[in-house]
Homo-oligomer: A and B are copies of this chain.
Amino acid sequence: MITPNMNYANLKDSYLFYNISQKVKAYQQEHPDAHLYRMGIGDVSLPLCDAVIKALHEAVDDQADAVRFHGYMPECGAPVLRETIAAYYGSRGIALSPEDVFVSSGASDELGDILDLFDRGGSSLIIEPAYPAYVDANVIAGRKIIHLPSGRENGFLPEPGEDTVADLIYLCSPNNPTGAVFDREKLTKWVGFANAHESIILFDAAYEAFIDDPTLPRRIFEIPGAETCAIEICSLSKTAGFTGTRLGYTVIPKALKRNGMCLNDMWVRNRTTKTNGVSYIIQKGGAAVFTPEGQKQIHDNLRIYKNNAAVLMEALDRASVWYCGGKNSPYIWMRCPEGTDSWAFFDRLLNEIQVIGTPGAGFGACGEGYFRFSTFGNPEDTKEAARRLEALLK
């Protein structure tokens, strides 16, 4: 008799986005003509840039041609894309070999799969508020989860303490949901901790493209010593609008070893066993992101989202509301008005000004009393939402 993985029974149901959608649906039924200002979900709204579209069409044409047709792709990524990404790191002063880079279907896929590399008896440290999938993937794997709450007192950017114990450490910077960004000093402390304790940092860099401040690290590998203690998981989802097109990449330096095992070699073996590579079409589209033309075009798009963030921040500043994020980040994490919990604030925004955001309590207990806005929406809607929000909060 087979036994299912009973860890699934320990998963807590997440009603966050389900509850939001039910509340929005109910409001729309009562107010069928109302225009809603959607700043809740972290999905992009701008189409793919021209350079990517052109490359995707070319790739489709290749798949129609007997000579240019591509069958099975190399499991760890097309060599040309691995080289391109390594060179992109090189342009930021980080020396990588193409073999350190693995092409993936996206950061969320990789964040789940990567747990295959570790013994299931270990522990995972998750800073809260957190992206819910970090917790759920560890519950499914049966790993011990150590919750590290953060708050306004440390700008939602905690440091390792003397009593910190963790085998695997999740760091997401710029952070989802708080928008907070680790500076070099704090990241250096985490890298020092991981090397000293032979832990491994899983660095989720999905939002790195939103960092404009040149003093802030965009990559964990900008911190000396990270190559012996960190895996970086990145994606084109937010950088280039690939949320529905799917492409990401993971960096596992050859120097990362534990218990005599090279994690890079292990991941090669994992990918060659458990995948047949990422679609040729999508990889060719993704490679276009790294061309000079692609870089210019994605930055034109990113500027629109960054401007949305600026518009919202100005409104919150004028209303004297505490928040973090928005700068160097696509998320704004604001304190709800005194005495209002995050779901009550959600209801108030929906009913009074038709603005939809995400209640902070949905990202962990220490998110209660906070509220997340995403800045991936339409600029006109964002402007009007900011105006309404300012009037309500003043």
Contacts and interface: CB of A to CB of B under 8 A. Distances in A.
B105 A105 contact: yes
A48 to B, nearest CB: 5
In the complex, the count of this chain's copies comes to 2
A113 interface: yes
A349 interface: no
Interface residues of A, number: 78
B2 A122 contact: yes
A321 interface: no
Contacts of A121: 3
A266 B167 contact: no
A321 to B, nearest CB: 28
Contact of A63 (B69, B237, B245): B245
Interface string A259-275: 10101001001100111
Given A5-B118, A46-B66, 14 more contacts: A1-B197, A3-B167, A4-B119, A8-B261, A41-B72, A47-B64, A56-B60, A70-B244, A71-B241, A109-B275, A113-B274, A243-B276, A245-B279, A282-B282
A228 to B, nearest CB: 12
Nearest to A263: B4
Interface in A322-361: none
Interface stretch (A80-88, A132-140, A176-184, A384-392): A132-140
A43 interface: yes
A108 interface: yes
Given A47-B66, A53-B63, A269-B8, A2 B112 contact: no
A255 interface: no
A168 B1 CA distance: 9
A199 B245 CA distance: 37
A105 B106 CA distance: 12
Given A63-B245, A281-B282, A275 B112 contact: yes
A350 to B, nearest CB: 22
A365 interface: no
Contact of A118 (B2, B116, B270): B2
A21 interface: no
A368 interface: no
A35 interface: no
Given A112-B273, A117-B5, A43 B72 contact: yes
A116 B113 CA distance: 10
A381 interface: no
Interface in A232-269: 237, 241, 243-246, 258-259, 261, 263, 266, 269
